[in-house]
Chain A
Amino acid sequence: MAGRVYVIGAGATKIGEHWDKSLRELAVEALLAAVKDAGISKREIEALYVGNMMSGQLQGQEHLGALVATWAGIPGVAACKVEAACASGGVAFHQAYLAVASGLYDCVAVVGVEKMTDALPSDVTAALATAEDQEYVVFTGASFVGLNALLYRLYLEKYGVKQENVASFAVHCHKMAVANPYAQFRRAVSLEEVMSSPLIADPIRLLECAPVGDGAAALILCSEGFLKRNPRDEIVEVTGSSVATDVLSVHERKDPLDAAAFRRAVEAAMRMSRVEVNDIDVLEVHDAFTILGVLSLEVTGFAPKGEGSRLVVEGELEPGGKIPTNTLGGLKARGHPVGATGVYQILDVVLQLRGKAGPNQVSEAEIGMAQNFGGVAGTVAVNVLKRVR
């Protein structure tokens, strides 16, 4: 029987081009902010999970567990890096959850971090593509954007949806990010700007892609016993945490639009939490590209197949709408420092459940879900959190 697990601390850096900060400094800044928010001593932390994808390629640096623990002044803790491509952050959180739920540790930290602006664009493109099969897929010259574009074209042709409707997802995210002090792009964009931005991999346009950026986010998780010894006002419980994988390469899947891992992870996390789709008050989806945001709404069950973009166009993703989604900007506008993203998503859910989301606060938000994809949804981490009265 898994023990109860709570999130008691959250902290992050702004996402952007941090020319003056190293990967380790970003990680430490977020981690210390989360410790301060939790109101505990960092000496209480027993284990540290660092979510990161590309430090080995972009910084030539691995062994992030011991590195971040050392620079944060907590050497001695059990620590390691968790890598699952763009789902590294969500999977690192899952590992932190397991560590507390197992009863082995009472207080653990998770920090997601990625430093992308140290490298040349073609190197970042190549590093992102390592999420796919290097020997038989990337060998063809496919980029990561290109693989998602294959899905996008299939979707538009199968359901006869206009690209403008899917692309509206980016407009929504930019509108939400204006109110988020951590966001990379705190400005609105119009649909015309999105649709006239350059093609990156047809039909995907530049403003349909999450940006390249640097950032780190951290959360402190604890057990029921630890919470009793360190009481606080707003309490958020992790009620469901699930990770699933799919056949790695899109072309090998029976139906590339099926999203098998995603369906499995969502179902498992909801079953664990004993919630139904309509119980969810706030949602964070992995909109690395607009098409993924729209697909997520459909697969989760908020819209029939081919109709997810109607929710976007009709304003149902905004606070007060049918399903408030990416209320602090999502990957598109809050930013997508790859290995940090899964942790930022959960942090945004925690802010909503605490009632601390600012102008985009969803009133009476009680249950939130964060969905984090690695590769083209080859790995999916889904976490469900609940406000405890």
Chain B
Amino acid sequence: MVWAESVPRVWRERVRKYRLIGGRCPSCGNVTYPHRLVCPFCGYEGLEPIELPRRGKVVTFTVIRHPPRGFEGREPYVIAIVELENGARILAQLTDVRPDEVRVGMEVEGVFRKFREQSSSGIIEYGIKFRPVI
């Protein structure tokens, strides 16, 4: 067990993960995901929470063939950097797509999906994955 199989952690993260809440910096204009207090680029304290757009494009991607604990048996699956419509970048798992269909520049949209289970009797963790725009 190297990731925190913790119920309070999942509860604490639920809004940022379920609704894709990022932070916009009024000082330098950068948008980062997830929302946090301090801008990593200019140090401004007091980022504004904003709901990020659910559409974007694949900047780069990889196919995970040897997954870390918690994702065994799901391989191969695709992990990508997605640039959203407002310029914010997010690291995301792609879904509803075969690895050999993924291309740089592909248009994708966010959908609510299951991520992993905290043991067979533990809670299930959810969040946003991205699928090709049809």
- Interface residue ranges, A against B (CB under 8 Å): 57, 121-123, 125-127, 129-130, 134-143, 145-147, 149-151, 153-154, 157, 198-204, 247, 249-252, 256
Q: Which residue of A lies closest to B129 (CB)?
A: A140
By secondary structure, the A interface counts as helix
Q: How far is the CA of A256 from the CA of B61 in the complex (A)?
A: 13
B68 in contact with A200 (CB, 8 Å) = no
A201 in contact with B63 (CB, 8 Å) = yes
Check: B134 CB closer than 8 A to any chain A CB.
no
Interface residues in B29-45 by Cβ distance below 8 A to A read 32-34, 40-41
Check: B99 CB closer than 8 A to any chain A CB.
yes
The smallest C-beta distance from B101 to any residue of chain A, in angstroms, reads: 13
Between B40, B67, B90, B125, the greatest number of chain A beta carbons within 10 A of the residue's beta carbon is seen for B67
Given A139-B125, A141-B93, A157-B104, the answer on whether A125 and B68 have CB atoms closer than 8 Å is yes
Complex partner residue of A122 from B60, B61, B68, B91, CB under 8 angstroms: B68
Q: How far is the CA of A201 from the CA of B90 in the complex (A)?
A: 19
Q: Which residue of B lies closest to A156 (CB)?
A: B60
Complex partner residue of A123 from B17, B66, B69, CB under 8 angstroms: B69
A137 in contact with B2 (CB, 8 Å) = no
Binary A-proximity of B1-37 (CB < 8 A = 1, otherwise 0) = 0111000010001000100000000000000111000
A201 in contact with B65 (CB, 8 Å) = yes
Given A134-B4, A141-B77, A150-B60, the answer on whether A126 and B68 have CB atoms closer than 8 Å is yes
A140 in contact with B79 (CB, 8 Å) = yes
Check: B50 CB closer than 8 A to any chain A CB.
no
Check: B89 CB closer than 8 A to any chain A CB.
yes
Point out the residues of chain A lying under 8 angstroms from B125, CB to CB.
139
A202 in contact with B68 (CB, 8 Å) = no
Interface residues in B56-76 by Cβ distance below 8 A to A read 59-72, 74
- Interface residue ranges, B against A (CB under 8 Å): 2-4, 9, 13, 17, 32-34, 40-41, 59-72, 74, 77, 79-81, 89-93, 99, 104, 115-116, 125, 127
A201 in contact with B89 (CB, 8 Å) = no
The smallest C-beta distance from B50 to any residue of chain A, in angstroms, reads: 16
Complex partner residue of B81 from A121, A125, A251, CB under 8 angstroms: A251
Complex partner residue of A153 from B64, B91, B99, B104, CB under 8 angstroms: B104
B68 in contact with A201 (CB, 8 Å) = no
Q: How far is the CA of A134 from the CA of B125 in the complex (A)?
A: 13
A134 in contact with B3 (CB, 8 Å) = yes
Q: Which residue of B lies closest to A123 (CB)?
A: B69
The smallest C-beta distance from A6 to any residue of chain B, in angstroms, reads: 38
Could you write out 6 A-B pairs with CB less than 8 Å apart?
A123-B2, A126-B3, A141-B68, A142-B64, A142-B91, A201-B63
B90 in contact with A202 (CB, 8 Å) = no
B61 in contact with A153 (CB, 8 Å) = yes
Known pairs A125-B69, A137-B91, A200-B65; list 14 more (Cβ under 8 Å).
A122-B72, A125-B68, A134-B3, A134-B4, A139-B17, A140-B91, A141-B116, A142-B64, A150-B60, A198-B65, A201-B62, A201-B65, A202-B63, A202-B99
The smallest C-beta distance from A191 to any residue of chain B, in angstroms, reads: 21
Point out the residues of chain B lying under 8 angstroms from A126, CB to CB.
2-3, 68-70
Point out the residues of chain A lying under 8 angstroms from B32, CB to CB.
252
A130 in contact with B64 (CB, 8 Å) = no
Point out the residues of chain A lying under 8 angstroms from B61, CB to CB.
150, 153
Given A136-B33, A252-B89, the answer on whether A121 and B68 have CB atoms closer than 8 Å is no
The smallest C-beta distance from A157 to any residue of chain B, in angstroms, reads: 6
Complex partner residue of B9 from A127, A135, A200, CB under 8 angstroms: A135
Q: How far is the CA of A287 from the CA of B84 in the complex (A)?
A: 32
